[in-house]
């Protein structure tokens, strides 16, 4: 007996062999997908009728700072340097463990509601982010964000905390939590520190999450201090590999793109954040054409200001079109691949496609809405017309976290109330 059968669905498998199944079934057992097809002989404890809906892999947000939900709308319309150094970092210095716990629960709630089933996070007070992930039922690849600013003492302490977090949490919550090392960026971490982080990560068989070339200022800093850009600098210290998730990668030359593709680096594109902070337009179409693995992220809520991956998909497609002045750039199916299959590859998880043996991480999107009618092409509708609010049901590891728009895994009203109070208390501490 299976656990769940979803029937009468348009199944968007994102698997090239299975393709789309117009009136299909998905069978879930023990947290995994047992069957995907036109019909099934199985029976199950729970049957979900998905008539008029699309069943698809849950979306994978590959660059987030979950706790930053508390800073939603806190520092808008600013240049990145002032935003980070004058507003965000001083505010982050006042954050407590409990703040991060509530902020991360709020992020999990928002992601579950809008169809994200996995996310990669880099932040501080990470034990409490992990606790929120464990409680909510979502899947995540978590890293303690490390910055040494060239101080050996700080480097030692940061790496110690990063390693402690990895050994404490990797594989926890029935395998839903994986961990990564999170050196912040090449212009906030020293060369020596980045070399140590890579060595530790290789030794521990753990992936790395890092910001790279988000701004022209980083490019200029690296050229002035090292005589080369961050991509060549990281190549020089043997940092690159399929184990690296590089967020942003906006300021790339054609030579940089070749290096990233050659080393199999995973690149998280974060178009809304890049637009809001006026960082620039990442050459996503060129990266994909070169064979690089490009996935999609929201970044934190202080530069987005939400975690809706549907909005991110649409923005990614539109930004490439206007950036290249080519309306054929980054078509809908390719964006869906970025948000599913490519994201799973970047995090090293068996999700992102609906296929036998893979994690039962999926969402049901209700297409019976005025703004989703008529339905000529499902991929087009999901990328250009749908939003996170159209997600009806969210399933992670075979557990239903939201059903028929009702969140079942967390006490939504309780978290909303606590988030309001937490942000008020935080604001008064920041002002004092």
Ligand X SMILES: CSC[C@H]1O[C@@H](n2cnc3c(O)ncnc32)[C@H](O)[C@@H]1O
Residue with the two structure tokens 């402690």: 164
In contact, 267 and 295? CB cutoff 8 Å: yes
Give the x-and-dash track for 244-283 against Zn ion (CB under 5 A).
----------------------------------------
Q: Which stretch binds Zn ion (CB under 5 A): 109-117, 192-200, 295-303, 389-397?
A: 295-303
Residue among 5 and 84 whose Cβ is closer to ligand X: 84
Distance CA(364)–CA(31), nearest Å, equals 17
Residue among 7 and 198 whose Cβ is closer to ligand X: 198
Using rule CB under 5 A, residue 92 touches Zn ion: no
Distance CA(110)–CA(325), nearest Å, equals 33
Distance CA(180)–CA(122), nearest Å, equals 9
Helix (H) or strand (E) holding 174: none
Residue among 148 and 366 whose Cβ is closer to ligand X: 148
88 binds, among Zn ion, ligand X, none (CB under 5 to 8 A by kind): ligand X
Question: Strands 177-183 and 139-146: what pairing?
Answer: parallel
Distance CA(361)–CA(351), nearest Å, equals 6
Using rule CB under 5 A, residue 121 touches Zn ion: no
Distance CA(89)–CA(69), nearest Å, equals 15
147 binds, among Zn ion, ligand X, none (CB under 5 to 8 A by kind): ligand X
Residue among 299 and 312 whose Cβ is closer to ligand X: 299
Residue among 248 and 392 whose Cβ is closer to Zn ion: 248
Distance CA(176)–CA(349), nearest Å, equals 9
The gap from C-alpha 48 to its chain's centroid, in whole angstroms, comes to: 27
CA-nearest of 221, 165, 160, 217 to 191 is 221
SS3 123: strand
Least separation in angstroms between CB 84 and ligand X: 6
> Residue 6 pairs with which residues in a beta bridge?
26, 48
Least separation in angstroms between CB 31 and Zn ion: 30
Using rule CB under 5 A, residue 299 touches Zn ion: yes
Task: Confirm whether residue 184 is marked as ligand binding.
Answer: yes
Summarize as ranges the residues that interact with ligand X (CB under 6 A): 65, 84, 88, 92, 122-124, 145, 147, 184, 211, 214, 273, 299-300, 303
266 binds, among ligand X, Zn ion, none (CB under 5 to 8 A by kind): none
Task: Confirm whether residue 63 is marked as ligand binding.
Answer: yes
Q: What is the 3-state secondary structure (H, E, C) of 253-279?
A: CHHHHHHHHHCCCEEEECHHHHHHCCC
Using rule CB under 5 A, residue 110 touches Zn ion: no
Least separation in angstroms between CB 92 and ligand X: 5
Task: Confirm whether residue 65 is marked as ligand binding.
Answer: yes
Binding residues for substrate: 92, 184, 214, 299
Binding residues for Zn(2+): 63, 65, 211, 299
Contacts to Zn ion by CB under 5 A: 299
């Amino acid at each position: 007996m299976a656990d769940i059968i979803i029937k009468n669905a348009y199944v968007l498998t994102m698997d090239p062999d299975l393709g789309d199944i117009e009136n299909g079934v998905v069978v879930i057992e023990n947290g995994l997908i047992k069957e995907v097809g036109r019909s099934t002989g199985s029976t199950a404890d729970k049957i979900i009728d998905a008539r008029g809906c699309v069943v698809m892999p849950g979306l994978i947000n590959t660059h987030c700072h979950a706790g930053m939900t508390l800073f939603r709308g806190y520092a808008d319309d600013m240049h990145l340097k002032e935003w980070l150094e004058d507003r965000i970092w001083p505010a982050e210095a006042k954050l407590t463990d409990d703040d991060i716990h509530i902020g991360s629960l709020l992020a999990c709630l928002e992601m579950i509601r809008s169809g994200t089933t996995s996310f990669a996070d880099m932040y501080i007070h990470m034990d409490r982010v992990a606790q929120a992930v464990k409680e909510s039922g979502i899947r995540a690849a978590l890293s303690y964000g490390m910055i040494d600013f060239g101080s050996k003492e700080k480097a030692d302490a940061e790496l110690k905390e990063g390693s402690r977090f990895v050994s404490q949490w990797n594989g926890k919550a029935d395998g839903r939590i994986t961990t990564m090392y999170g050196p912040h960026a090449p212009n906030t971490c020293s060369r020596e520190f980045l070399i140590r982080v890579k060595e530790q990560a290789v030794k521990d068989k753990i992936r790395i999450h890092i910001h790279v070339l988000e701004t022209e200022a980083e490019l200029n800093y690296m050229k002035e201090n090292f005589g080369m850009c961050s991509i060549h600098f990281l190549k020089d210290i043997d940092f690159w590999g399929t184990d690296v998730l590089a967020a942003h990668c906006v300021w790339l030359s054609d030579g940089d793109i070749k290096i990233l593709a050659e080393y199999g680096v995973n690149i998280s594109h974060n178009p809304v954040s890049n637009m809001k902070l006026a960082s620039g337009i990442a050459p996503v179409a060129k990266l994909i054409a070169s064979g690089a693995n490009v996935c999609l992220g929201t970044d934190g809520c202080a530069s987005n200001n939400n975690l809706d991956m549907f909005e991110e998909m649409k923005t990614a497609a539109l930004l490439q079109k206007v950036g290249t002045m080519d309306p054929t750039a980054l078509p809908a199916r390719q964006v869906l691949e970025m948000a599913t299959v490519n994201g799973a590859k970047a995090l090293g998880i068996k999700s992102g496609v609906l296929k036998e043996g893979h994690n039962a991480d999926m969402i049901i999107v209700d297409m019976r809405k005025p703004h989703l009618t008529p339905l000529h092409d499902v991929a087009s509708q999901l990328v250009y017309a749908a939003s996170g609010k159209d997600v009806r049901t969210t399933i992670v590891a075979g557990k239903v976290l939201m059903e028929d728009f009702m969140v079942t895994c967390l006490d939504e009203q309780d978290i909303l109330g606590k988030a309001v109070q937490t942000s008020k208390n935080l604001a008064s501490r920041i002002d004092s």
